[in-house]
Structure 1
Amino acid sequence: MKGTPVRPRALVYGDVDLNLIDGSAIWAQGMVQALARAGCAVTLVLKAPVRTGRLVDPLRALPEVTVRSPHAEGLIDHEGGMPPKLAAAILARVDAENPFDLIVVRGRRLAGKLSAGPMAGRLWTYLTDVPQSAAEFDGASKGELRRIADASRVLLCQTEELRGFLESAVPATAGKSVLFPPVVVLPDGMKTRQEGTPDGRALKLVYTGKFAPRWNTYEMTSLPRLLAMRGVDAELHMVGDKIHDDPKDPAFATRMRTALEGGQGVVWHGGHPRAEAMRLTAACDVGLSWRDREMDASLELSTKVLECGTLGVPVVLNRTPMHERLFGTDYPLFAATEADVLDALTLIGKNPDVFALAVERCRAAAAGFTLDAAAGRLRACLAQTFPEPSATVLAAAAEHERTAARVRASGEGGLAALDGALSGAAADVAASPDGPRRLRVGVAGHDLKFFSRLLDYLRSRPDMDVRVDHWAALKVHDEERSQELADWADVIVCEWCGPNAIWFAQRKRPGQRLVVRLHRFELYARWPKHLDIDAVDEVVCVSPHYADLTREITGWPAAKVTTVPNWVDDHQLDRPKLAGAEHHLGMIGIAPSRKRLDLALDVLEELRRDDPRFTLFIKTKLPWEYWWIWQKEEERAHYEQVFRRIRRSPLLSGGVVFDSYGRDVASWLRRIGFVLSTSDDESFHLAPAEGMASGAVPVLLGWPGADTIYDDRWIHAGTSAMADAISTTVSLGRWEHDRLLAADQVRAAYGLDEVCRQWTDLLAASPAAAAKTT
């Protein structure tokens, strides 16, 4: 099919100079290699003219990789690099030659330029140079990142910490952010550090990368001299040729070069190809990644640290939450000050067991950052972004074309006209220069938030052509635009069984299929009574219980009411839990009162009688933020009583935390070990399913229909039983087992891939029955 190559074509550009060996240059090399291994045909565009091939030459040698130098091609008439505005223009020119399927870019300013251009929608933006604290995030930064997020198909984040921070600061990034950590690739034949400790010789320290003030590279040059004063013989090997010019410290470059050239025990190797730099590292004993304390808040992870770990070289680095998660809180080479560094190096220089422990921790930390792991992450993203065409969908589209031709011919009269129309339709499909005719899917509704990810998926399918008729309000729409959709579509999906469903049912063409998705809200409203059910092919409910209620309340034919569950974005929600999560309960949404926050407080009180570590986190809008709830006297009375109880109960004091409503649910769920559902009734209740996908254990009351959606093991008879189940799960050490079981269950039943598959099958159903509908 045209526009759907076997290998997606990827364009890669980083605002980095591949003549210099630093983390950003290594990123470009690793990204190209990972994309190629994931199945892409990759074109790398260079920012600077090639002065050394030490990073570029290995990429040129890879099959399916093309390296383009705008300078060598005469696209740029100067020898310097490309500022973002020029880079955006050059990339647009390269893309225009034969548009790429995805454009991977690194550099916030560049991404900002591209977000307003023709590449919007195809950007896979790698975000690093962003404000990394709330204090730095001003309105302009948020606005720029929001525009970048809106224009990006995927946002690649180096760490979970960065991803979570961005999602809370810029809601538009939620749902698009994908974890893509640094990639560590050992050159072919590279030998790792020999086992054993540096007994009987000088302790060899190593640093590779740029030389800059906050990287403490000048301070490192004093370490051999200071260690000698402690009786530890040491030498420092420094690899790199990029010395930073610091406007705040104009003398730094001169001071740094002097130390490199003449420092006691310092061996400066200068710049080298990456393979040689790694060989030099493997020949040493300890890597240095000790940085200024200002960088402790960084949300980025050093590639050099991981390279050292892969090579079996332990690293001295700052103690941060991110590093503690990777290396363990008792890692022996954490250091904050020069004295800490000297203490750590003295310790391992004289203690083989501590040295061996540090090597083991570094190797284990680096194991998850291999090229294969990176390619696997990208392969999963590519599979979601570029699904394979389905023969079933294409067959349905062709049948719709034949049906439409049959209907047209029947109005024109005669079997000859019918035969001619059918053969003509078949010929048109076969001869189309764009390949097989795609299935035309129209989606109509006033609020598509519950259909958003499904819509993204349908739009990404190469065998479907999707158009949206977005109604301005429940009853307000552009009739001309709606009629155009009705005339064009093979299948129309009405999201909500409201005035939109009634309108399209009245105008449905013979042979056209009409699918209506019904929610709890409409079931008890007046619209289903006015819907011509004979014109509807299928009514979709999100749970078996509500499908049964729909049949019972409406009297519609049972065969027309089907169940396709709500989707759970298990890929986005699957993130590592934070320490202490097993003592954290969670609720998402507490309004209206039938959500029964009061019952959740009953559970919490019982738990805190024995263990005050249990805490209830509530992510929600507050009830007075919903005017239609707060205007009801009984609702206000309920919440006044609940909040008074929280304030006055000794057991609840300090045990209830309200978090602001927002799209950063996946990040928020990292701290949650149990998700509660205490409602009087629900159509599906997505919160427990989202919790399960995040690795939390669901704990539900038996509201009507709960057992048709969730396993009986998670459903309890009352609040005491809920509290007992939580306490027992934690005290007997079953939390880890139960949360993995819950995640497997929700992925199989409600995972995004599974629900998308069900919707694909639904939309590709034969139009033959619909052709009989007039």
Structure 2
Amino acid sequence: MTEQRLRALVYGDVDLNLIDGSAIWAQSMVRALRAAGCRVTLVLKAPVRTGRLVDPLTELDGVLVRHPHAEGLVDGDAPMTVPQAHAVLGRVDGDHPHDLVVVRGRAIAAALAGDGAFRNRLWPYLTDVPQNLAGFTPEIHGDLRRIARAARTLLCQTEELRCFLEQTVPEACGKSVLFPPTVVVPPELADPAPRTANTPLRLVYTGKFALRWNTFEMTGLPTRLTNAGVPAELDMVGDKIHDERDDPDFADRMRRALESAPGVHWHGGHPREKAMAIAAGADIGLSWRAPELDASLELSTKVLEFGALGLPVLLNRTPMHETLLGEDYPLFAASEDDAVDALRRAAQNPDLYALAAARCRAAADGFTLERAAERLRAALAEVYPQPSVAVAGPPLKVVVCGHDLKFFTRLLQHLAALPGLDVRVDPWRTLSEHDEERSRELAAWADVVICEWCGPNALWYARHKKARQRLIVRLHRFELESGWPQKLDIDRVDQVVCVSPHYAALTAEATGWPTEKITVVPNWVDVAQLDRPKLPGARFHLGFIGAAPSRKRLDLAVDVVEELRRRDPRFTLFVKSKLPWEYWWIWKRPEERAHYEALFRRIAASPSLAEGVVFDGYGGDVAAWLRRVGFVLSTSDDESFHLAPAEGMASGAVPVVRNWPGADTIYDRRWIHRDAGEMADAIEVIVKGGRWDEERRIGQGQVRDGYGLPRVRDAWEEIVRGR
């Protein structure tokens, strides 16, 4: 982050006159950005009719609230349409562009994504995303792909939503950052009074009144509980009653129940702090919804607010809620009868009530304003990094050249964002094809040239290097057998970077280059992106990434899972890879075809393997895929680094590595094994011995310390600056 405070522009396609989760989001986002060190401008969608949500923000230092209607930027007093909001945001941003533009709402995000002025500054917060593939129309899918392409960062409310986006929108991979709801509790409500015995059970609901939110059914709970021997009352806060297309009478029915149902006290709309004060006086919060919402990828802010107030919450049993509160949480309900029974038991059993309250409070502790600010600070530091060394003078001019920059993308992104560096790219069409005129211009302009791959690009830039320039070449595995390094004039190269000590030694041996010019900087691993909660059963799941060519030895991974399934049929091998026939240069080789045909015949012929080997599609959603994986296998004949086990370690999986040459220069010997039998034994011992959690914590710490993205980026910055 630069010394000058970053400027954030915030717009939510929400009306801040009405209290619901989306309106609370706008308020919380402004507070969190401010706490993260930003100056924040909030643009309102609608004229202010009640200041209960807006007024607290106007009093904050570093926050500017813009009123487009009052300022004459929009005619009339209707809430802004998407085209109007687009135009207004353009005007607000135009005079002094903001560093980041945070918007909520797919339609407005899609509109801004098509505007080049906002490209790479967009931080969309996406919630109105289809909850399953059936809802993905071509239009919606197109919107999401455009948004992801234009966005610098995608803010996702839940891990489930982040993974779903990555698996359906390839452009979201690597950009998606977890940003859960934020709960801000007024200090005076932080320590609520304990529940008083021998008084009516007080229930509370705050938010919108909608059909699938079961708000009408809630109004019947006091009567049913009273009839079951538990006197109860219900406080309901909110003034937004939905008109339901599927149930035209709902709004009238809901209003009548709010006004006249026995035991129900309707408080109408209130500022957030007042609504929370009402909730703090209750015993149990209600967030129980219709079953069709069980697959929702969103987490209700109200659940967290109730928990922060010390209230247990009645809610549906879903995988997300089980992760949040535990499978044995006592206030899960699937029906109205379940709800009545769970509430009755909580009212009559103090220990059960205390357990539920403690679980909800503990869960809410992860969603405080302070935690939100920490997440935003980390995300902002990624996009607006500070140099690791002091810089002065004019920017250093850096050219990055290569035909395939996939292994350098995040490093390039970081270097381009650093103060004191002016970075340009010379993209070659193939290993040897390029725009020579552009290359000559960049060669004349640059102070530093980085050639990704030691191929014809390195030979070309070595020939055109000026005396004042520095040339850095990164060499990968396949170039050593290509003959290009032997043709490179090493006297015109300042530094050669290899990804492992073993390949650095092989490079020196194969080329005769001076060892002082050869440096080892490992491949980077984005631990922050990969570290995600594991799914149930992950400890029985083996992962294998990249199954071609045959030297990757998928057949040995199959040996491992076959042996394990003899001992426990729960073990399963998941293979994430293109299939060998998708690589023309592999499939044209008779020996490669024979290898894979024999392997697939073997899998098909064995009932155990047919059920125990799963092939998943190739794609960038590795972080989401690794959530199901407890062990990552590396069975190759040879590797320069092999990123897969390191990525597995970052995800919280245990690496299981065959002893290929140089493996012990990259991975701890505790993870290295001689053959498939030894690998299977090691996995069984870890699982059966209850050591999986311990081992994966050790692995994750090792990869963070050794190959974490921040460490590798700092090393490259020092090389580029010549330190």
The interval holding the TM-score normalised by the smaller chain is: over 0.9
Say whether the 8 Å CA contact 2:634–2:645 is kept in structure 1.
yes
1:438 has 2:395 as partner: yes
Provide the TM-score with structure 2 as the length reference: 0.98
After superposition, give the CA deviation of every residue in 1:271-317 in whole Å (9 maximum; x if it has no partner).
11111100110101111111111111110000000100111111111
What's the counterpart of residue 271 of structure 1? 269
What's the counterpart of residue 183 of structure 1? 182
Shift of residue 552, structure 1, vs aligned partner:
0.7
> 1:50-449 maps to which residues of 2 (within 5 A)?
50-117=48-115, 118-196=117-195, 198-389=196-387, 391-392=389-390, 394-395=391-392, 436-449=393-406
Letter in 1 for 2:502: H
CA RMSD, aligned part only? 1.4
After superposition, give the CA deviation of every residue in 1:383-428 in whole Å (9 maximum; x if it has no partner).
1111114555x35xxxxxxxxxxxxxxxxxxxxxxxxxxxxxxxxx
Distance (Å, rounded) in 2 between the aligned partners of 1:261 and 1:613: 55
Shift of residue 92, structure 1, vs aligned partner:
1.0
After superposition, give the CA deviation of every residue in 1:667-702 in whole Å (9 maximum; x if it has no partner).
111111111100000010000000011111111011
What's the counterpart of residue 435 of structure 2? 478
SS in 1 for 2:123: strand
Letter in 1 for 2:173: A
Distance (Å, rounded) in 2 between the aligned partners of 1:312 and 1:28: 24
Say whether the 8 Å CA contact 1:192–1:282 is kept in structure 2.
no
Letter in 2 for 1:457: H
Say whether the 8 Å CA contact 2:544–2:633 is kept in structure 1.
yes
Distance (Å, rounded) in 1 between the aligned partners of 2:597 and 2:495: 44
Say whether the 8 Å CA contact 2:225–2:232 is kept in structure 1.
yes
Distance (Å, rounded) in 2 between the aligned partners of 1:685 and 1:507: 33
Say whether the 8 Å CA contact 2:455–2:485 is kept in structure 1.
yes
SS in 1 for 2:611: coil
Distance (Å, rounded) in 2 between the aligned partners of 1:621 and 1:28: 42
Say whether the 8 Å CA contact 2:2–2:385 is kept in structure 1.
no
Distance (Å, rounded) in 1 between the aligned partners of 2:248 and 2:605: 60
SS in 2 for 1:585: strand
Distance (Å, rounded) in 1 between the aligned partners of 2:717 and 2:198: 68
Shift of residue 650, structure 1, vs aligned partner:
4.5
Letter in 2 for 1:600: A
Distance (Å, rounded) in 2 between the aligned partners of 1:449 and 1:653: 34
Letter in 2 for 1:143: G
Letter in 1 for 2:183: V
Shift of residue 439, structure 1, vs aligned partner:
1.1
Percent identity at matched positions? Answer: 66
Shift of residue 763, structure 1, vs aligned partner:
0.3
What's the counterpart of residue 770 of structure 1? none
Shift of residue 184, structure 1, vs aligned partner:
0.5
What's the counterpart of residue 608 of structure 1? 565
What's the counterpart of residue 682 of structure 1? 639
Which consecutive aligned stretches of 4+ in structure 1 deviate over 4 angstroms post-superposition? none
Distance (Å, rounded) in 2 between the aligned partners of 1:515 and 1:116: 37
Distance (Å, rounded) in 2 between the aligned partners of 1:726 and 1:358: 36
Letter in 1 for 2:164: F
After superposition, give the CA deviation of every residue in 1:634-691 in whole Å (9 maximum; x if it has no partner).
1111111211222223442411111111100001111111111000000100000000
> 1:346-745 maps to which residues of 2 (within 5 A)?
346-389=344-387, 391-392=389-390, 394-395=391-392, 436-745=393-702
Say whether the 8 Å CA contact 1:215–1:290 is kept in structure 2.
yes
1:759 has 2:716 as partner: yes
Shift of residue 348, structure 1, vs aligned partner:
1.5
1:146–1:539 distance in 2 versus 1, CA, 3 Å: same
Distance (Å, rounded) in 2 between the aligned partners of 1:718 and 1:213: 59
Say whether the 8 Å CA contact 2:8–2:99 is kept in structure 1.
yes
Distance (Å, rounded) in 1 between the aligned partners of 2:138 and 2:578: 23
Distance (Å, rounded) in 1 between the aligned partners of 2:191 and 2:52: 20
1:191–1:494 distance in 2 versus 1, CA, 3 Å: closer
Distance (Å, rounded) in 2 between the aligned partners of 1:133 and 1:463: 45
Distance (Å, rounded) in 2 between the aligned partners of 1:717 and 1:476: 43
Distance (Å, rounded) in 1 between the aligned partners of 2:607 and 2:389: 63
Shift of residue 63, structure 1, vs aligned partner:
1.8
Distance (Å, rounded) in 1 between the aligned partners of 2:137 and 2:183: 34
Distance (Å, rounded) in 2 between the aligned partners of 1:390 and 1:35: 24
Structure 1, unpaired ranges of 5+ = 396-435, 767-774
Say whether the 8 Å CA contact 1:191–1:279 is kept in structure 2.
no
Shifted more, 361-370 versus 166-175: the winner is 361-370
Shift of residue 727, structure 1, vs aligned partner:
1.1
Distance (Å, rounded) in 2 between the aligned partners of 1:531 and 1:88: 53
Distance (Å, rounded) in 2 between the aligned partners of 1:216 and 1:130: 22
Shift of residue 596, structure 1, vs aligned partner:
0.7
Letter in 2 for 1:87: A
Structure with greater Cα Rg: 1
Distance (Å, rounded) in 2 between the aligned partners of 1:653 and 1:382: 46
Distance (Å, rounded) in 2 between the aligned partners of 1:227 and 1:329: 25
Distance (Å, rounded) in 1 between the aligned partners of 2:683 and 2:291: 40
Say whether the 8 Å CA contact 2:74–2:84 is kept in structure 1.
no
Shifted more, 725-734 versus 542-551: the winner is 725-734
Shift of residue 576, structure 1, vs aligned partner:
1.0
Total equivalences in the alignment: 722
Distance (Å, rounded) in 1 between the aligned partners of 2:642 and 2:634: 8
Distance (Å, rounded) in 1 between the aligned partners of 2:334 and 2:686: 39
SS in 2 for 1:453: helix
Letter in 1 for 2:221: L
Distance (Å, rounded) in 2 between the aligned partners of 1:193 and 1:539: 63
SS in 2 for 1:652: helix
Distance (Å, rounded) in 1 between the aligned partners of 2:342 and 2:472: 67
Shift of residue 226, structure 1, vs aligned partner:
2.0
Say whether the 8 Å CA contact 2:388–2:717 is kept in structure 1.
no
Shift of residue 251, structure 1, vs aligned partner:
2.0
Say whether the 8 Å CA contact 1:469–1:485 is kept in structure 2.
yes
Shifted more, 4-13 versus 15-24: the winner is 4-13
> 1:23-62 maps to which residues of 2 (within 5 A)?
23-62=21-60
After superposition, give the CA deviation of every residue in 1:571-596 in whole Å (9 maximum; x if it has no partner).
10011111111111110011111111
After superposition, give the CA deviation of every residue in 1:111-170 in whole Å (9 maximum; x if it has no partner).
001112101110111010011101111322222111101111100000000000110000
Say whether the 8 Å CA contact 1:193–1:284 is kept in structure 2.
no
SS in 1 for 2:152: strand
SS in 1 for 2:188: coil
Distance (Å, rounded) in 2 between the aligned partners of 1:390 and 1:636: 49
Distance (Å, rounded) in 1 between the aligned partners of 2:388 and 2:357: 49
Shift of residue 339, structure 1, vs aligned partner:
1.1
Letter in 1 for 2:54: V
Provide the TM-score with structure 1 as the length reference: 0.92
Distance (Å, rounded) in 2 between the aligned partners of 1:140 and 1:449: 29
After superposition, give the CA deviation of every residue in 1:484-532 in whole Å (9 maximum; x if it has no partner).
1101111011111111111111111111011111111211102222222
